Chain A
Amino acid sequence: AQSVSQHNHHVILSEAASLELGCNYSYGGTVNLFWYVQYPGQHLQLLLKYFSGDPLVKGIKGFEAEFIKSKFSFNLRKPSVQWSDTAEYFCAVKNQAGTALIFGKGTTLSVSS
């Protein structure tokens, strides 16, 4: 079965530190990949997505992600985090049937000021 793995369960950073959250998916074919963010008490919002083309994708709020096909990875990065980035981050991939998204278990990011 398809799956998405997020390596870090909880990441704690100080403001201005750099961020990289790992995401690996199991499906080897054409993939549509997403990163969503959930701020405390809110619903999920799209950060960025990759369907094709340039493997380095830029999203909102200074986030970017790099699709590396050979590694089945789609890691999320931000050069300098802010306290307001404290949230839960979910990686997702379209399933093979094309009917829905499969989400990872999420990574909680805590940023201290």
Chain B
Amino acid sequence: IAGITQAPTSQILAAGRRMTLRCTQDMRHNAMYWYRQDLGLGLRLIHYSNTAGTTGKGEVPDGYSVSRANTDDFPLTLASAVPSQTSVYFCASSGLAGGDEQFFGPGTRLTVL
């Protein structure tokens, strides 16, 4: 059982380029989340999805979009990357929406130049 997988592990991207970070879970969890982790700022929620077919905005959604076509996958897209999006991105899932325990993926380290 893998839990949550994320791809790529790391990426260096030129500003203005489009990038999709992939996240897949095999726990059949209903809810999924994307966070970014920045030094001194902790984890901040970008987008979430309580169930397949629905998504919502978190604390820092600008410049990012998500989709939830099925239970397992929750890709995060940067339509036109900017240097301020340099961060470590974590995908998470939980059995129940919102307050249930969340399980985290290994993260994607993204550098935008």
Contact = CB atoms under 8 A, between A and B. Distances in A.
Q: Main secondary structure on chain A at its contact with chain B?
A: loop
A43 B43 contact: no
Interface stretch (A14-22, A61-69, A73-81, A101-109): A101-109
A90 B42 contact: yes
Given A32-B99, A98-B98, A104 B106 contact: no
A100 interface: yes
A67 to B, nearest CB: 14
Nearest to A9: B40
Contacts of B33: 100
A34 B104 CA distance: 14
Interface in B47-79: 48, 50, 56, 58
Nearest to A42: B106
Contacts of B90: 43-44
Nearest to B48: A100
Given A32-B99, A44-B90, A100 B58 contact: yes
Interface of B: 33, 35, 40-45, 48, 50, 56, 58, 90, 92, 97-99, 101-107
- Nearest 7 Cβ contacts at the A-B interface: A94-B99, A98-B98, A105-B42, A32-B99, A103-B43, A43-B104, A44-B104
